[in-house]
Amino acid sequence: MPFFDALRKKSRMANPAVISALRELVESGCWGNHKDFAAWLSFDYNLNEQEDEVLKALEDLVVQGLLEKHESLNDEFILKSLNFAKPITHYRVSGFLKDSPIQMVRSRLETFFRTHDVPDEMIVDMSIATTEAMENAVKYNDQNPIEIDYSLADGDFRIEIRNGLKEVEIERDIEAGKYNSSLTLMRGMMVMSKLFDELDIDIKDAENLAVFTAKKKVS
């Protein structure tokens, strides 16, 4: 009997709730590895599935024809066809790096651009710029969810990132090595200023909130 129990366990289908949630995530544009998806399932759906179970569910979706392995990143799963994509442009992501918020935004944004036939070189530039903006948002946020909103109209791409701000202690952070040549806010701003046509960061002290906005002609 233990042998047959183990066999049934090995061959069992993935949790239907997990499959349904994964479908929604990938159709919204998310792509990444199974650890990314496990983090997103936990944050967005409160589904705390083991990573190996998430991997199995993703592989099931490959068999079903919804997903395929990324052509150059073999451990990452991506929509097999953009015909399945149902991009969303307003959502929240976790404020914790462990939950892969940057990859969620980057992958959804790239999928969104591809459904609008934005040139590849422009997608790369906007992916880099948005990654810089998200790194700053995560680094300085108060660990609450970060709000993302973007649009594309008449060739103009606009993005807004809203995050709460934690208290900054400059001297302590310098001693901890936080401010160095590769991690400063200024470096990120320089990169973004070259890639976006316009950008602004509005610090709302009364609300302890940072609002990043940017614009780019992408087509």
- Please give the chain's pLDDT, 219 residues, in tens: 454 344 334 445 678 999 999 999 999 999 999 999 999 999 999 999 999 999 999 999 999 999 999 988 889 999 999 999 999 999 999 999 999 999 999 999 999 999 999 999 999 999 999 999 999 899 888 989 999 999 999 999 999 999 998 765 545 454 555 544 344 455 678 899 999 999 999 999 888 899 999 999 998
Residues 100 and 180 in one domain: yes
Residues 108 and 212 in one domain: yes
The pLDDT assigned to 170 comes to 45
Helices 185-195, 120-140: inter-axial angle, 10-degree rounding = 150
The pLDDT assigned to 187 comes to 66
Question: What is the spatial order of strands in the sheet that 76-79 belongs to?
Answer: 32-33, 76-79, 67-69
The pLDDT assigned to 71 comes to 86
The pLDDT assigned to 15 comes to 87
Secondary element (H or E) of residue 41: helix 34-45
CATH code, domain carrying 165:
3.30.565.10
Closest to 168 (Cα-Cα) out of 136, 141, 200, 146: 141
The pLDDT assigned to 174 comes to 47
Note the pTM of the prediction, 2 decimals.
0.86
Residues 112 and 214 in one domain: yes
Instruction: Give the tokens for residue 118.
Output: 């934005």
The pLDDT assigned to 24 comes to 98
Instruction: Give the tokens for residue 10.
Output: 């090995």
The pLDDT assigned to 166 comes to 79
CA distance 108 to 13: 28
The pLDDT assigned to 90 comes to 98
Mark which of 25, 51, 86 sits at the end of a domain. Answer: 86
DSSP-H helix ranges across 88-200: 101-115, 120-140, 170-175, 185-195
Mark which of 86, 110, 130 sits at the end of a domain. Answer: 86
Is residue 105 within 8 Å of residue 76, measured between CB atoms? no
The pLDDT assigned to 73 comes to 86
Domain enclosing residue 100, as ranges:
88-219
The mean predicted confidence, pLDDT, of the chain is 88
Is residue 29 within 8 Å of residue 112, measured between CB atoms? yes
Residues 219 and 112 in one domain: yes
Give how many domains the chain has, as a whole number. 2
